[in-house]
Amino acid sequence: MNAPPFPSPRQLETSLRLLELLADGRFHSGEALGGALGMGRGGVWRVVRDIGNLGFEVHGVTGKGYRLAEPLELLAEERIRAAMVPHDGPALRQLHVLPTVDSTNRWLMGRALSGGTAPAAVVSEHQSGGRGRRGRVWVSPFGQNLYLSLLWYFEDMDHSLPACSLAVAVAVARALGVLGVGDVGLKWPNDVHWRGRKLAGMLLELVGEAAGPYKVVMGVGVNVNMVAADIDQPWTSLRGVTGQAWDRNRVAACLLQEILSGVARFQREGMASCQADWDALDLTRGRRVTVHLADGAVEGTALGTDGDGALRLRTGQGVQHFHAGEVSLRVAR
């Protein structure tokens, strides 16, 4: 069955206002909602239908009005900033919160190209063209998960981009640890797994400019409250792991503080800043794996990573190093 059409920007704005009014999970009369939105009961009914199309369950009861099946916390800059605790990374200069965007990575790359400040971050309630690694789509329904990108300027790129993406993966795993989520592991180069199911992924992109600092956009997608989705690999969400709904502002705050401090340490020390943590979280080390390349596949035993973040593999030809972006990896069954 085809998904219902995503609302127009104007419809989305009204839907967001209704979601804010219903966020407490209590009943609100159609009359009160209509008064707040400046429309009649029929108009309210249509907006209720729109938020149903966004994936929210709304209960309508005669004489009581409407309520969300469960309370909702929309993303908000002040809530994210308030939930961040002091850390040893740089201050976040800008934090943008969007209702919808094609891709937070693409949006932030555009800001970087027009000279935007850094570190800057963007989160969005929805992505219409969420990008995964190797050209895949990142499933990004409205209001359920976290789609976050952080822009960072490196004056000198002393350390490799693949190593940086491992440092971000370690920072995300640390954030999950701070939030109390156990059993998290990393599958090279930067898939975050929980008991064999994908929980989060990262996509680092270099902004193409000949001169000036290296501008890197670090995109992180974390499945937070999603319970159903058409995804062609085993996956889970924080809700799936813990059985409870999560406040996405708190998750965003924790991710940002850990990534800001993790990348600052990486800038000073390179892979040494996170090697021990990577080794402890590495799900493939010592296991037989298959590395899939554009023109074939290589099998071997994973030996961990080198100082550039490349995967070391013992093969029939000796130890080979594979770099992110050129290879993918599947744990052999």
Q: CA–CA separation, 250 vs 139, rounded Å?
A: 21
Closest-approach residue to ligand BTN (CB): 201
Site for ligand BTN in 177-216 (CB under 6 A): 191, 201-203
How many residues lie near ligand BTN (CB under 6 A)?
A: 20
Q: Which residues contact 36 (CB under 8 A, 6 or more apart)?
A: 17, 21
End-to-end distance of the chain based on CA atoms, in angstroms? 33
CB of 104 to ligand BTN, least distance (A): 4
Query: Does residue 166 bind ligand BTN (CB under 6 A)?
Result: no
Q: Please indicate whether residue 187 is annotated as part of the active site.
A: no
Compute φ and ψ for 274, nearest 5 degrees.
-140, 5
Q: Helical H runs in 194-247?
A: 238-242
Nearer of residues 65 and 219 to ligand BTN, judged by Cβ: 219
Output 130 or 300, the one with its CB closest to ligand BTN: 130
Beta bridge partners of 217: 151, 205
Q: Which residues contact 229 (CB under 8 A, 6 or more apart)?
A: 139, 141, 235
Q: Which residues pair with 330 in a beta bridge?
A: 290
Stretch 6-45: interaction string toward ligand BTN, x if CB under 6 A: ----------------------------------------
Which of 90, 132, 177, 213 is the binder for ligand BTN (CB under 6 A)? 132
Taking the least distance from each CB to ligand BTN, the nearer of 44 and 200 is: 200
Those residues whose C-beta lies under 8 Å from the C-beta of residue 303, and which sit 6 or more positions away, are 285, 286, 312, 313, 314, 319
| Beta carbon nearer to ligand BTN, 191 or 282 | 191
Judged by CB under 6 A, the chain residues 95 through 124 that form the site for ligand BTN are 103-105
Decide if 111 is catalytic. no
Among 28, 111, 126, 131, binds ligand BTN (CB under 6 A): 131
133-141, 240-248, 300-308, 321-329 -> range binding ligand BTN (CB under 6 A): 133-141
| Backbone dihedral angles phi then psi of residue 62, each to the nearest 5 degrees | -55, 135
- Near ligand BTN by CB under 6 A: residue from 30, 116, 143, 221: 221
127 interacts with ligand BTN by CB under 6 A: yes
Neighbours of 140 (CB within 10 A): 26
268 is catalytic: no
CB atoms within 10 A of CB 264: 18
Which one, of 80, 106, 137, 114, lies nearest residue 256 by Cα? 80
* From 4-12, 131-139, 207-215, 265-273, span contacting ligand BTN (CB under 6 A): 131-139
Measured distance CA(154)–CA(161) in Å, rounded = 11
Q: How far is the CB of 234 from ligand BTN (least distance, A)?
A: 13
Q: Which residues are catalytic?
A: 133, 198, 330
- Contact set with ligand BTN (CB under 6 A): 103-105, 127, 130-133, 136, 138, 147-149, 191, 201-203, 219-221
